[in-house]
A and B are shown apart, each in its own frame.
Chain A
Amino acid sequence: SGGERSGGRESAFQVALLTPGPISDQAWNATAYHGLERIRDSLGASISHIQTKTPAEFEENFRQYGTKGYDLVIGHGFEFQDAARRVGPQFPKTLFVTTGGEGTGPNVVALSFAFDEPSYLAGMAAAAITKTGVIGGIGGTELPPVKLGFEAFLAGARLVRPDIRLLVAYLGNWDDAGAGKEQALAQLNQKADVIYQNADAAGLGVFQAVRQAKGVWVIGSNADQNRLAPEVTLGSVLIDVPHAFLLLARQAQLRAVRGPTIHFGTASDVVRWVPNPLAPAPPAKVLAQMDSVRAVFAAGGRPVVTPR
Chain B
Amino acid sequence: MEALLIPFLDATIRTATPLAYAALGELVTERSGVINIGMEGIIIAGCLGGLVAAGAGGAAMGFLGGALAGAGMAAIFAFFVLRLRADAIITGTALTLLGLGLTGTLYRGLFGLEGAALGTPSIAPIALPGLSSLPLVGPVFFTQTGMTYLLYLFVPALAWWLARTQAGLALRAVGESRAAALAAGLDVQRLRWGAILFGGAMGGLCGATLVLAQVGTFTEGMSAGRGFIAIAIVVLGRWRTVGTTLAALIFGGAFALQYLLQAAGWALPYHLFLALPYLLTLILLAALRGRAEAPAELASQESWSRA
Q: Known contacts A167-B265, A186-B263; decide if A24 and B215 are in contact (CB<8 Å).
A: no
Chain A residues whose C-beta falls within 8 Å of the C-beta of B107 in the assembled complex: 24
Q: Is A204 an interface residue (CB 8 A)?
A: yes
A186 CB to closest chain B CB, in angstroms?
4
**A181 and B215 contact, Cβ closer than 8 Å, known pairs A189-B7, A204-B118:** yes
Bound CA–CA A193/B57 (angstroms): 34
Q: Are A183 and B259 neighbours in the complex by a CB distance under 8 Å?
A: yes
How many Å from the CB of A287 to the closest CB on chain B?
28
In the complex, which of the residues A175, A181, A212 contacts B220, with contact meaning CB atoms closer than 8 Å? A175
- Tell me the total A-B contact number using a CB cutoff of 8 A: 118
Q: B217 touching A204 by the CB < 8 A rule?
A: yes
Determine the residue in chain A with the shortest Cβ distance to B263. Answer: A186
Cβ contacts under 8 Å, A187 to chain B: 263
Q: A175-B221, A208-B215 are in contact. Are A229 and B118 (CB under 8 A)?
A: yes
Q: Are A1 and B109 in contact (CB under 8 A)?
A: yes
CB contact under 8 A between A182 and B270, given known A2-B108, A167-B263, A228-B117: no
Indicate with 1 or 0, residue by residue over B187-217, a CB within 8 angstroms of chain A CB atoms. 0000000000000000000000010001111
Q: Label chain B's interface by main secondary structure.
A: helix
Q: Is A282 an interface residue (CB 8 A)?
A: no
Q: Which of A23, A136, A180, A205 has the most CB of B within 10 A?
A: A205
Question: How many angstroms between the C-alpha atoms of A182 and B118 in the bound complex?
Answer: 16
- Chain A interface bracket (under 10, 10 to 19, 20 to 34, 35 or more): 35 or more
- Let me know if A178 is at the binding interface, CB within 8 A: yes
List which B252-267 residues lie within 8 A (CB) of chain A: 255-256, 259-260, 262-265
CB distance from B275 to the nearest CB of A (A): 9
> What residues of B have a CB within 8 angstroms of the CB of A181 in the complex?
214-215
- Per-position binary interface string of chain A over residues 159-189, scored 1 when its CB falls under 8 Å from any chain B CB and 0 otherwise: 0000001011110110111111111011101
A105 interfacial by beta-carbon distance below 8 Å: no
- A169 & B263 in contact (Cβ 8 Å cutoff): yes
Q: Within 8 Å CB of B7, what residues of A? A: 185-186, 189
B residues apposed to A, CB below 8 Å: 7, 11, 14-15, 18, 104-105, 107-109, 113-115, 117-118, 124, 210, 214-222, 224, 255-256, 259-260, 262-265, 270-271, 274
Which 3 pairs across A and B sit closest by C-beta, in order of nearness? A176-B224, A201-B219, A186-B263
